[in-house]
Structure 1
Amino acid sequence: MVTTLTDRGYLVAEPGIPTHYRLGPRLFQLGSRFAGQVDLAREAQATAEAVAAECDETVQVAVLDGDFAVCVAKADSSQPVRVVVAIGNRLPVHACALGQVLLAGASDEVAFEHDEVGNDARGAAAPVRDHTGRIVAALGVSVPATREIAHCVPFVQKGAAELSQRLGYRSESEG
Structure 2
Amino acid sequence: MGRLVPAVTRALDVLELFLDGDGTLSAPEVTRKLQLPRTTVHELLTTLAARSYLVTTPDRPGRYRLGVRTYQLGSRYADQLDLAAEGRQVAQQVAETCGETVHVAILEETDIIYIANADSTHAVRMVSAAGRRLPAHCTSVGKMLLAALPDRDLDARLGGLELTGMTPNSITDEGELRAALAAVRERGIAVEHRESDPDVSCVAAPVRDRTGRVVAALSISAPMIRWSEEREQELAGLAADGAGSLSGRLGHHGGRK
Q: TM-score, normalised by structure 1?
A: 0.74
Matched AA of 1:81: V
The C-alpha deviation readout for 1:75-121, integer Å capped at 9, x for no partner, is: 00010000011111111110000000001117471100011124411
Report matched runs for 1:1-175 at 5 Å. Answer: 39-105=82-148, 107=185, 109-148=188-227, 149-150=231-232, 151-171=234-254
Counterpart-to-counterpart distance in 2, 1:124 and 1:172: 19
The C-alpha deviation readout for 1:29-86, integer Å capped at 9, x for no partner, is: xxxxxx9697000100000000000000000000001111100000000100000111
Counterpart-to-counterpart distance in 1, 2:139 and 2:133: 10
Q: Secondary structure at the match of 1:171?
A: coil
Q: Which ranges of structure 1 fall in alignment gaps of 5 or more residues?
A: 1-34
Counterpart-to-counterpart distance in 1, 2:105 and 2:210: 18
8 A Cα contact 2:212 2:252, kept in partner:
yes
* Residues paired across the two proteins, number: 139
Matched AA of 2:116: A
Q: Percent identity?
A: 44
The C-alpha deviation readout for 1:112-141, integer Å capped at 9, x for no partner, is: 001112441100000000011110000001
Give the structure with the higher percent helix.
2
Deviates more, 1:74-83 or 1:99-108: 99-108
Matched AA of 2:216: A
Counterpart-to-counterpart distance in 2, 1:116 and 1:45: 24
Deviates more, 1:104-113 or 1:152-161: 104-113
Counterpart-to-counterpart distance in 1, 2:197 and 2:220: 16
Counterpart-to-counterpart distance in 2, 1:100 and 1:63: 11
Counterpart-to-counterpart distance in 2, 1:71 and 1:137: 10
Matched AA of 1:160: A
Greater relative contact order (Cα < 8 A, sep 6+): 1
Matched AA of 1:101: M
User: Post-superposition shift, 1:155?
Assistant: 1.2
Give the structure with the higher percent strand.
1
Q: Secondary structure at the match of 2:104?
A: strand
Q: Secondary structure at the match of 1:132?
A: coil
Counterpart-to-counterpart distance in 2, 1:75 and 1:116: 21
Corresponding position of 1:3: none
